[in-house]
Structure 1
Amino acid sequence: MIIVTGATGVLNGATVEQLLQRVSPSDIGVSVRDPRRAQHLADRGVRVRQGSYDDPDALRDSFADAEQVLLVSSSDLSADVVAQHRAAIDAGIDVGTKRILYTSSHGAGVDTPYPPLAIHAATEQHLAASGAAWTALRNGFYGDLDQLLGPWRETGVIAKPADGPFSWVDRRDAAEAAAAILTSDAQPDGPVDLTLTTPITLADFAAAASDLSGRPVERVAVDDNGWIAGEIANGVPEQVARFTLSMFQATRSGHFSHPDPSLSRLLGREPRSIAEQLADQSAQRG
C-alpha cells in the first residue's frame, strides 16, 4: 500500500489524483489531520486515517500496511519542523515501511541564506540514517504566482529584489512526477532534482507576462533595504519580509541555478512552461 500524507493539500492532493489513475484505490491510503476533509477520497475507495506529525501513535496507525510512505514537508511555522519530520520518518520505520519519500526542495543544504533549505537537508540526513530505502523529491519552487510576482497586471511592473536563475514548476507536474516514482519498478535512491531543464528569472516572467497581456511588463529590481521597508509599510511583518528576501538572495548566490532532466524524463514531456502557468492562472481568474 502507498500512504500519502498531506493529501488534503494542493500538492499531495494532486499526487493522490495521479495515483488513482495508475493503481487501484484499495492500494492507496492517506494520513490526514482532519479525515472529514478527505471524505471525497474515502468515497472513491481510498483508505483514510487520521494522522499528525505531532502524534506518533496516530501516525503509526495511519501508516499501517505501508510499503511506501510519501511525506509532505510540514508547513507549521510555529513548530520544530525538523522534529516533526523525524517523528514521521521514525513512524514509517516502526511499521516496516520499505521506502520513504519526502517532498524536499531543489538546493537543499546547510550553507544557504534561505532557511527552509537547511530544514530539508536535516530531514534528508535523518532519512539517510533511517535504514530504509528513501527518495527526496527536490522540487523546484511552486506556489502562488501573485505572491511571487506582485500585482503586475495592475502596475505593468514586476518590482522585486534582484534575483538569479531558479526553477518555478507547476504543482501538477510535481505531483505527476511523484506518482510516477511511487509506481515505478526502478525508483531513484536518495535525492532527485525535479526542476526545469532551463532555469528562469523574473525577467523571463516579465517577458512571458508581456506576451500574455499584450502590453509591456517591466522587471524592476528593488534595493533589498528599500524592498523590506516597502513591505513593512504595506503591513507585512518584518520577519516575514526578511524571510522572503532570503529566497531572492539564495537565487542570486546560485543555489537554484542547476538544471536537471529528471522531471522531463518522468513526465515524458517538458514541464509546463512559465508562460503556460501564467496563462492557466489568468484563465482561473476569469
Structure 2
Amino acid sequence: MIVVTAAGGPTGTAVVRALRARGEPVRAVVSRRGPRPELTDLGAEVVVAELSAPMAWSSVFRGADAMYLIWPNFDPDEAEGAAALFAEARRAGLPRMVYHSVMRPQLRVMPHHAGKDRAEEALDSSGLPSWRVLQPCSYADNLDSQLASAQTSGVLRSFWGLRTAQSMVDLRDVADAAAVLLTEDGLDGGTFEAAGPEALTAPRLAELIGAWLGDEVVADDVVPGGEVPTGYAARCQRTMFDHYRAHGFVGSPRVLTDLLGRPPRTFADHLAGQPRPGEEAP
C-alpha cells in the first residue's frame, strides 16, 4: 500500500494514476470529505486527513509500504508540517518516504523554495529508514489554461519575460518518476531533479503553441507592477516570476531520463496529448 497526500490536486491525482497503472494499491489522502470520482475510478482508497492539523496518523500509515508527501502549494506551514509528519512516519515504522520538493530549493529568495529546503533538511535528519526526494521544475501543464485564450487572442501571456528560458516538464513524467522512487530499490538518500528536455523561452513556447493550433501565437510580456505583495502566496508567486525573469529556471533532463528509462516528453509532446480548445478531453 502506498499513501499519496494532496491526492485531489493535479500532482497527487497524476501520481495515483501512475501507481495504479503499475498495479500498486494506493491510499489517497484528501483534506475534505466528498465524492472523489477521479480517485475512486482509479481504484484508490480515499481517506480524509488534514496535513497541517494535529491528528493521529497511525490509521493512515497502517499497512503502508511508502508515502509520497505532496504539500499544498504556497503553504507557509510546509517546513514545520513536513518535519512533524516525518516524525509521525518514523514512529509508525513507515518503510519509505518520498518527498515532493522543487528544483533548486536552495533558492531561498522564493519563500516556498525556502520552505521545501528546510523540509528536505528535516527529512535528512528524520531517522526514517528509507527516503528519497523528487525535485520537479515548472510544469508544462501550467500553460494549459492559456491554450483557449491563445487560440482566440493569438497571445501567450508570459509573467517571466521574453528572454530567459525554463525547462518545462510534463506532469505525467513527474508522476512516473515518483512511482519509480516509491517502488524501486537502490535509490535511498537520493535527491532527483525532474526537468524537461528543452530550454524554452516564452516566444518559443508561443511558436510551439501556434504550430499546434495552426495559427500564429506571440508572447506578451506581462510586467508586474507595484511592490512585492506581503501575503504569503502572492509573495511566493511574485518572487518566483521575478527570479525566472532575471535568471530563468533551466535544469538538466539527464536524471529524469535515467529514472524513466526514456527521454522526457517535449513541450510539443505535451501539447499533442491535450484536447484542442472546444474539444472534450479524451
TM (normalized to structure 1)?
0.81
Structure 1 counterpart of 2:93? 96
Structure 2 counterpart of 1:209? 209
Structure 2 counterpart of 1:85? 82
Structure 2 counterpart of 1:63? 61
Structure 1 counterpart of 2:51? 53
The alignment of Structure 1 onto Structure 2 pairs a total of residues equal to 273
Q: Which of 134, 137, 140 is equivalent to 2:134?
A: 137
Shift of residue 60, structure 1, vs aligned partner: 3.0
**Are 1:228 and 1:241, in contact at CA under 8 Å, matched by a contact in 2?**
no
Residue 265 of structure 2 is aligned to residue 272 of structure 1: yes
**Are 1:65 and 1:95, in contact at CA under 8 Å, matched by a contact in 2?**
no
Percent same amino acid among aligned pairs? 28
Task: Name whichever of 140-149 and 207-216 sits farther off.
Answer: 140-149
Cα deviation, 1:65-109, whole Å, max 9, x if unaligned, reads 3231110122364x5232222222222112011221111111211
User: Quick one: which amino acid aligns to residue 261 of structure 1?
Assistant: R
Q: Which of 119, 126, 134 is equivalent to 1:123?
A: 119
Inter-CA distance 95–242: structure 2 relative to 1 (3 Å threshold): closer
User: Quick one: which amino acid aligns to residue 190 of structure 2?
Assistant: G
Q: Which runs of 5+ in 2 are unaligned?
A: none
Cα deviation, 1:130-181, whole Å, max 9, x if unaligned, reads 0122211101212431557893323323343425222222212211111122
Task: Note the 1:132-171 alignment, pairs <5 A.
Answer: 132=128, 133-142=130-139, 143-146=141-144, 151-160=149-158, 161-162=160-161, 164-171=164-171
Structure 2 counterpart of 1:186? 186
User: Quick one: which amino acid aligns to residue 166 of structure 2?
Assistant: F
Structure 2 counterpart of 1:198? 198
**Are 1:109 and 1:118, in contact at CA under 8 Å, matched by a contact in 2?**
yes
User: Quick one: which amino acid aligns to residue 203 of structure 1?
Assistant: P
Q: Which has the higher helix share?
A: 1
User: Quick one: which amino acid aligns to residue 60 of structure 1?
Assistant: S
User: Quick one: which amino acid aligns to residue 61 of structure 2?
Assistant: F
Shift of residue 247, structure 1, vs aligned partner: 2.2
**Are 2:195 and 2:250, in contact at CA under 8 Å, matched by a contact in 1?**
no
TM (normalized to structure 2)?
0.82
Inter-CA distance 255–87: structure 2 relative to 1 (3 Å threshold): farther
User: 1 CA distance for matches of 2:272 and 2:144?
Assistant: 13
**Are 2:98 and 2:181, in contact at CA under 8 Å, matched by a contact in 1?**
no
Shift of residue 39, structure 1, vs aligned partner: 6.6
Q: CA RMSD in A?
A: 3.0
